[in-house]
Amino acid sequence: MHIHFIIHEHFEAPGAYETWAKMNGHTLSYTRIYLAENLPQHADDIDFLIVMGGPQSPATSLAKCAYFDSKKEQAFIASMITANKVVLGVCLGSQLIGEALGAAYQPSPEKEIGKFAITLTDAGLNHPLFSHFGSELNVGHWHNDMPGLTATASIIAYSEGCPRQIVAYSDLVFGFQCHMELTTEVVTLLIANDDLTNAHNYRFVEQPEKLLSHDYSEMNNKLYTFLDKLAVHYLSK
């Protein structure tokens, strides 16, 4: 498969998503928004679009961030969905998917930065792509907002701090508010580019030392299995 990444900032790296793609011998391409790279003009050869996170929101204007064109990205995402490609968004990426489908993003009830449990809904427990997650799984978080819900969207998982952690918009389109791609290397980049001095003021924000002490391999492996299943499903259609 040909997998294309949209990366908004160098420190919002694709982590385990990229590792999985390389392990499986998929071809990779990138649009690095922070370098003002253009979105693909011809996306016919793209099978799988992965839209990464960023400090922006879908409402961020060009005046505030000259290299981030939210509306253009939403239009590209919508075109990929219409073409029946696999589309997966992480954090900001998940919010952009919702917006592309007409569902406005919202602030999350809680700011979450750290490794905390998500709980699967009945829809999640009965979804074949998520059956291996179990009823509860500790995963990475680094967010303030959450994706909007379309009339047909299904919430796969939630956390104590956020009711929309994983959303299935269709059998090929998924929004992950949580960050299952985190590795120690990616977390190090995020810490270096965020201000965590007020971490103690939030229920679900961990200190840098705690963030760096976590083992992220279990959630990475769960993500790999999900991606394996999703790839098989796409190729069988």
User: Is the pTM of the predicted complex or chain greater than 0.75?
Assistant: yes
Tens-digit pLDDT profile for residues 39-53: 998 788 999 999 999
Tens-digit pLDDT profile for residues 151-208: 999 999 999 999 999 999 999 999 999 999 999 999 999 999 999 999 999 999 999 9
Query: E strands within 25-172?
Result: 27-32, 48-51, 86-90, 106-120, 136-146, 154-159, 166-168
Residue 234 has pLDDT above 90, yes or no: yes
Alpha carbons 151 and 66: distance in angstroms, whole number: 33
Q: What is the mean pLDDT of the chain?
A: 97
Query: Which domains are present in the chain?
Result: 2-236 (3.40.50.880)
Phi and psi angles of residue 57, each rounded to the nearest 5 degrees, phi first: -125, 165
Phi and psi angles of residue 31, each rounded to the nearest 5 degrees, phi first: -115, 110
Tens-digit pLDDT profile for residues 52-84: 999 999 999 999 999 999 999 999 999 999 999
